Structures are given as C-alpha cells and as structure tokens.
Amino acid sequence: MTQDVRIEDLKENLLDDRISVCGDEQPVEQLSVQKGIGEKKQWLRKMLEESSSPSKILYVDNKPVGQILYYPESSIPFLKDPDPKMLHVRCSFVHLAQQGKGHGKALFKSVVNDAKTQAKYDRLETVSFDPPGCGLSQTAFWKRMGFKERPEGEPHELEYLINGGLTRPRKNNPRRVGEKGVKIFYEPTCIFTHQFSDRIAEAVRAIDPNVSVEMVNMWEKPEMAKRRALVKGCVYINGKPMKHSIFDGEEFKREVQALLNPED
C-alpha cells in the first residue's frame, strides 16, 4: 500500500505537530519535560519571527513522524563573531517504526536544497550524539549523508560542505568568574533539556543541600554566557566550569565535591 509522504516547513500552526515528533514515544508527562516543551515552543516562535523556519516536519499519511532542526550561526546570541555562512543542524529524528525508509535522508536533503537555492551558506555543521532509545546512530547517519570530521575536532564534530573546504570547530574554553553557587547553562532547543539539568541539580544538592542552583537559558541571557566565553552548555560551581558531565558518574560526583568544598 502506497503511503503519502510530505515535508513541511515549520509554521506557527504546526508547533504541536513538531513537538509531538519527539514526544510521542517519550514520557512527556514529567514536569521537567513539560517545562522543556514550553521553552522550546517559545524558542521556535521567536526563531520564526526573527529568522526563518528552524525546522522541517515529515508526515506519513498526515501523521508527523520525523523532524530536523537547524538554524543559522548568526542567530545564536551568545557566540562571538558568528559565521554568516554556517548553518547549524542541531538534530534529526524519525520515529523508530519509520526508520530505514529514507525519511531522514529526505529531511536532510530538503535542508541542503534550500541552502543551495538561497545561496546563503557555504557549509553546515553538526555535533552528533547518540541518545539511547533513538534507533540509528546519528554519527553514522550524518557521515552517510556526507558530513566529514573537522580538522582538529572531535569525532562527533562534523561538517558538510556546499562551497570551500573544511573548517576548524570552535573550541569551548570557558572562563572562570568570581561568584558563589551553582549555575547550569543550557539551550532551550530540546524538550528534554531540563531532564538533564534537573539530574545535575539533584546530584549537586545530594552533596550540598543548601547550595544555590540557578538554571541559565543561554538564548535568553546571552551576556552571562558571553562573559564566560561559552559556545555550549556548561555547569559552573563557585565560578569554575566543570570538566565532567553527569554521564561521567563517579568522576562527576568527585569534581562536584572538590568544587563545592575546595578546602577538603
């Protein structure tokens, strides 16, 4: 039986469809996810107003089952000297039952075709990640689409060329600042952002229940991120950026302990 497949650019009236692609198969009833959904909708609306469509939605028989998220580097408010010729591809996802049918490729090719038609961009970049439960490895998928590893970059820092040669990725060298407490810097581009941020806050408070913890949306408070020279999310404890992530387990806990109690 032939299926009806189409791709739509995101519009205001399609916001719920866009959110549902990532949320249909996940526990969206969690308060942290609901907060993430609210922030992402607000961010998507702002992008639609100030830039252009930051996402495409793939429908199969009128059901939204796939998405790709992207935006120009020039729209990122906390970056120093953004490259006007760079388009960031943040993520793409197709429902598990619809994977392996060419839908992810169709979404990406639609973005590339737009970029070539508009003649605004020379390259696309992505930082691949492979979250559990999402099926096909994003790293493998992007490389199949033609992305290459960048000079002096990590294996997950990838670039797709339209014109010119490969460029070096930005290095994240966060600065120390004079302050007390904990600040968790994040971007509102994923509905699951606060799942991770809340886990970080819980891990920190397990060590010091009285410590002040502040969540900082880098798109809403870009000056705070600029002051620290951040190019991505980061956790600060008493003015010092953490080196380990929540996924590093005991190493993360030891670093939290050391930064909260430097005299121990």
Of the pLDDT bands very low, low, confident and very high (cuts 50, 70, 90), residue 136 is: confident
Name which of 187, 184, 185, 218 is nearest 204 in CA terms: 184
Q: Is the pLDDT confidence value at 216 over 60?
A: yes
- pTM for this entry: 0.92
Of the pLDDT bands very low, low, confident and very high (cuts 50, 70, 90), residue 91 is: very high
Contact 7, 56 (CB under 8 A): yes
Q: 3-state DSSP call for residue 196?
A: helix
Residue 130 pLDDT: 74
pLDDT in tens, 176-200: 999 999 999 999 999 999 999 999 9
Residue 137 pLDDT: 82
Q: Is the pLDDT confidence value at 219 over 90?
A: yes
Q: What average pLDDT score do residues 98-113 get?
A: 96
More confident residue, 78 or 131: 78
pLDDT in tens, 140-174: 999 999 999 999 999 999 999 999 999 999 998 99
Give percent of the chain above pLDDT 90. 85
Output 70-76 pairs: Cβ under 8 A, ≥24 positions apart.
70/111, 70/124, 71/47, 72/120, 72/121, 73/125, 75/47, 75/50, 75/51, 76/219
Range with the poorest average pLDDT among 43-52, 131-140, 240-249: 131-140
Alpha-helix runs per DSSP H in 186-249: 193-207, 222-227
For 181, phi then psi, to 5°, come to 90, -170
Residue 104 pLDDT: 96
Distance, in Å, from the CA atom of 109 to the CA atom of 92, rounded to the nearest integer, reads: 12
Residue 26 pLDDT: 62
DSSP 221: S
Q: What average pLDDT score do residues 237-259 get?
A: 95
Measured CA to CA in angstroms, residue 255 lies from 172, 204, 240 at distances of 19, 10, 11
pLDDT in tens, 5-40: 999 999 999 999 999 998 766 666 688 999 999 999
Ordered by where they begin, the domains of the chain are 5-161 (3.40.630.30), 182-260 (3.40.30.10)
Tokens (6 digits) for 121: 């961009």
Name which of 169, 170, 201, 171 is nearest 185 in CA terms: 201
Q: Is the pLDDT confidence value at 264 over 70?
A: no
Plot region of 238 (φ>0 → left; ψ -120 to 50 → alpha; else → beta): left
